[in-house]
Amino acid sequence: MSRIGSEISRLRKEAGMTQKQLGKLVGVTERFIDEVESGKKVMNSDLIARVSKVLRQEAGNLELYSEEEIRSRPEPDMKVKKVIEKPVQQIWTDALAGVIMTVPVYDYKMDKAVAAKQLPIISNKVEGCPKDKVFYLQVEDDEMSGFRIMKGDLVLAFSSNEIEKDAFYFMELKGRKMIRQIRVLDSNRLLLVGNSGKVTTETVLTKEANLIARLLRLEIKL
């Protein structure tokens, strides 16, 4: 086992994390973490930095270095006082802040969050969208059940009023909020498609439709 692998294994266990959890936080597989800890693989400097960032928060005063840096590292001054570690809950909050985002769940009123879910942050985005514009919407009716979007399901949505071909949107029309598939007829007209078991269509002026968010992914209720 390499010096780096041994150090990662020790501190991961001290933090109460599994290899799978650590791998997920730094963007690699559980098998890769296992092979690093056993000395079969070596991390590059970028991955070492990411692991160091996560485990530094978990273990309080952790610092990871490359093998060359470890060999040249001076012996610690035994007179230095030990830093007081943070409470466990705060440690976890700090560690996950840059890699996990709490996404609010709204009903159709959207005046306050009714719940929350956590999603990973990748390149400062969630599901490829700016993280500050992503939210979950709780479906309140079966008007789109023909598309398998049913009451009680959750849909991940992205705040946007830009129209994409045949995409599904959460929108408002004449004071009523709804989910519809939207097709562009021309520069002035949209075709709204509903499906509660039978397909229905409605042609409206583009300026009449208030697009609130584009739907990204459906999470069904079992």
151 and 66 together in one domain: no
Q: What is the mean pLDDT of the chain?
A: 83
pLDDT tens column, 75-86: 555 565 555 555
Q: Which residue has the tokens 């150090």?
A: 7
Q: What's the rounded Cα separation, in Å, for the pair 214 and 20?
A: 32
Say yes or no: 105 and 196 in one domain.
Answer: yes
Determine the structural domain holding residue 173 and report its residue range: 100-219
Q: Residue 83: its pLDDT value, please? A: 56
Provide the 8-state DSSP code for 122.
Answer: B
- Among 65, 96, 127, give the residue marking a domain's end: 96
Task: Work out whether strand 134-138 and strand 100-106 pair parallel, antiparallel, or are unpaired.
Answer: parallel
The pLDDT value given to residue 62: 43
Both 19 and 92 in one domain: the answer is: yes
Regarding whether 207 and 115 lie in a shared domain, the answer is yes
Helix, strand, coil shares of the chain, percent, nearest 5, are 30, 35, 35
Q: How far apart are CA 18 and CA 21, in angstroms?
A: 5
Tell me the CATH number at 119: 2.10.109.10
Final residue belonging to a domain, choices 62, 96, 130? 96
The last residue of a domain, from among 67, 96, 125: 96
Tell me: do 90 and 115 sit in the same domain.
no
The verdict on 67 and 122 lying in the same domain is no
Average pLDDT, integer, range 32-49: 82
On whether the CB atoms of residues 52 and 64 are closer than 8 A, the answer is yes
Q: How many domains does the chain have?
A: 2
CATH number, domain with residue 24: 1.10.260.40
Task: Express each pLDDT in 121-166 by its tens digit.
Answer: 888 888 888 888 999 999 999 999 999 999 999 999 999 989 998 9
Task: Please tell me the distance from the alpha carbon of residue 71 to that of residue 77, in angstroms, as a whole number.
Answer: 17
